[in-house]
Amino acid sequence: MRKWVFCFVILGDPGDLMRIRLRKRKMLKLKVRQTVGRAFTPDEKDRMLEEAGKARSRHIFPALSLALNAGMRDAEIKTLTWGQIDFAKKYLAVGLSKTKAGEGRKIPLNSTLLEVFSEYGEWYC
């Protein structure tokens, strides 16, 4: 959507014509989904974790565990470093985040994440 808006601004009058045509065809705005997402069931979570454990990449299981247990964003998980994890105090500090409020927030590590990171650390380090 943003790409088209930017294009319209640059095009000037031809962009206005394009915008009018798209508006008539009801194609100017993206369709919004009316259904609400749902939470994963415990069986679905278990199945995802089981498949992640079988994956060729050993990074998938810890990443999925973080997503399910810590509620971290994709980019936050991808940029996580060992220096951000404090095993003694049982928390991890988020580095760069999508929002300023998200940066530096401390997420407590539950027993599942502590176990996953301990096993992953033995393999990784």
Domain total of the chain: 2
Residues 6+ apart with CB under 8 A from 72: 66, 80, 94, 107
Helix boundaries (H) for the chain: 2-11, 13-24, 42-54, 60-70, 74-78, 111-124
- Residues 50, 33 share a domain: no
Residue 90 pLDDT exceeds 60: yes
Confidence of residue 11 (pLDDT cuts 50, 70, 90): low
Give mean pLDDT, residues 3-9. Answer: 45
Separation CA 44–CA 46 (nearest Å) = 5
- Residues 102, 55 share a domain: yes
Contact between 94 and 102 (Cβ < 8 Å)? yes
Separation CA 79–CA 103 (nearest Å) = 12
- Residues 96, 120 share a domain: yes
Torsion of Cα atoms, 55 then 59 then 60 then 62, to 10°: 120
- Residues 107, 52 share a domain: yes
- Residues 18, 1 share a domain: yes
- Residues 119, 64 share a domain: yes
Residue 4 pLDDT exceeds 50: no
- Residues 118, 60 share a domain: yes
- Residues 3, 23 share a domain: yes
- Residues 107, 58 share a domain: yes
- Residues 66, 28 share a domain: no
Q: Which of 24-33, 37-46, 79-88, 102-111 has the lowest mean pLDDT?
A: 24-33
Contact between 107 and 94 (Cβ < 8 Å)? yes
- Residues 61, 14 share a domain: no
Q: Residue 74: what pLDDT?
A: 84
- Residues 70, 31 share a domain: no
Enclosing domain of residue 116? 42-124
